[in-house]
Amino acid sequence: MSHLLEIEDLRVTFNTRHGAVTALDSVSLHVDAGETLGVVGESGCGKSITALSVMGLIPQPPGRIAGGAIRLNGEDLTKAKESRLQRLRGAEAAMIFQEPMTSLNPVFKVGDQIAEAITLHQKVSHDQAFKDAVALLDRVGIPSPAARAHDYPHQLSGGMRQRVMIAMAVSCRPKLLIADEPTTALDVTVQAQIFDLLNEIQREFGVAIIMITHDMGAISEMADRVAVMYAGRVIEEAHADEVLDHPLHPYSRGLISCIPTLGKGEPDALKEIPGVVPPLHLLGAGCAFSDRCAHSFSRCTNEKPLLVDRGHHPAACHGIEEGKL
């Protein structure tokens, strides 16, 4: 059975003052209808570039898709013209961006912005589209939706603005919804409400969701499967429970160990992964995580590990292969 979305050996490069750098290196992912794929990693790991590639929003130049395929319902989007991509955005695939205030137009009422998305893809009048927008605001849990539809983005709270973005994203019933850090600036109570809303929408519309996040806690709440990314590569992929309960890659283990826990007695000190994601133009021939890994050995710095099945699920780590972990 074919997947709703299939990314195969995707390679994206950017021209920089350091020359051409590879932002995505042979990334392969897939997601099926009604499924949630969590893509997790620190800032700079390639999560958002992957999402922008799917949506055809990589700025060209300086970026370009240098190889691979992105198939949505079997159609390779890397070969599609811009006019075709414009028709697909919103209708077949939609994206919820990280910061609504930079995504919503500050000088237009939120109801008009949702209505514009509807009229762009459906043959309805603006009046009907505005009525549909009010119904969508009600559906995503905004109180007094008829009144709020006439508000400007700055008049809404952060949680309400994110709900507006969700309403806009699902306004044309897309088959794929990409949520890029949708709860980053929200408090934990509102975060939980947004997660519940996304789950409800998925059950109602059967939409596939790609949840992009740096938060393993969000993954445990939302994802069916998880792909862990680091320095532009997928380094581990499996069902969410497998990655959370039995992480194989040292980086995945580090992400999970950073999740705060509550227990009896004094709270444990917050843990961290030492170092930072290396600049892409400074990546060597070996594993990009080797400088931060406590288990690194000579092979790690000289040979790039491949994403292959390590007994439980795929992971890209020499230490696992050689029994050093």
Quick check: 78 and 84 in contact, CB under 8 A?
Answer: no
pLDDT attached to residue 49: 94
Q: What number is the average pLDDT over the span 148-169?
A: 92
Please tell me whether the peptide bond between 61 and the residue prior to it is cis, using omega within 30 degrees of 0. yes
- Is pLDDT of 255 > 80? yes
pLDDT in tens, 61-93: 899 999 999 999 999 999 999 999 999 998 899
Q: Domains (ranges, CATH) in the chain? A: 5-92+174-262+271-321 (3.40.50.300)
Return the higher-pLDDT residue of 189 and 153. Answer: 153
Distance between alpha carbon 162 and the CA centroid of its chain, in Å? Answer: 15
Q: Are 49 and 151 in contact (CB under 8 A)?
A: no
pLDDT interval class at 191 (50, 70, 90): confident
Which pLDDT score, from 0 to 100, does residue 98 have?
A: 77
Cross-strand pairs, 213: 40
**Residue 167 scores a pLDDT above 80:** yes
Q: Which two tokens stand for residue 76?
A: 């390779």
**Which is more confident, 242 or 268?**
242
Question: Residue 265: its pLDDT value, please?
Answer: 56
Neighbours of 319 (CB within 10 A): 23
Confidence of residue 56 (pLDDT cuts 50, 70, 90): very high
Each residue of 37-50: pLDDT tens digit? 999 999 889 999 99
Q: What is the DSSP letter of 24?
A: E
Report yes or no: 23 and 80 within 8 Å, Cβ to Cβ.
no
Q: Please determine, for residue 120, whether its predicted confidence score (pLDDT) is greater than 90.
A: no
Cα distance between residue 286 and residue 304, in whole Å: 4
**pLDDT above 80 (res 184):** no
Task: Give me the pLDDT at residue 123, please.
Answer: 84
**pLDDT for the residue 264:** 56
Q: Report pLDDT for 188.
A: 82
Please tell me the distance from the alpha carbon of residue 66 to that of residue 177, in angstroms, as a whole number. 25
pLDDT at residue 151, rounded to an integer: 95
Judged against a pLDDT cut of 80, whether residue 186 lies above it is answered with: no
The CB density around residue 68, as the number of other CB atoms within 10 Å, is 18
* Whole-number pLDDT of residue 262: 64
Task: Tell me what percent of the residues of the chain surpass a pLDDT of 70.
Answer: 97
Residues in a beta bridge with 20: 15
Sheet holding 19-31, edge to edge: 19-31, 5-16, 63-72, 75-76
- 40: phi then psi, degrees, rounded to nearest 5: -125, 150
Query: Tell me, what's the pLDDT at 204?
Result: 87
pLDDT at 271 over 60: yes
The pLDDT value given to residue 138: 94
User: Tell me, what DSSP letter sits at residue 306?
Assistant: P
Buried b (16+ CB within 10 A) or exposed e, 85-108: eeebbbbbbbbbbbbbeebbeeee
- Mean per-residue pLDDT over the chain, rounded: 90
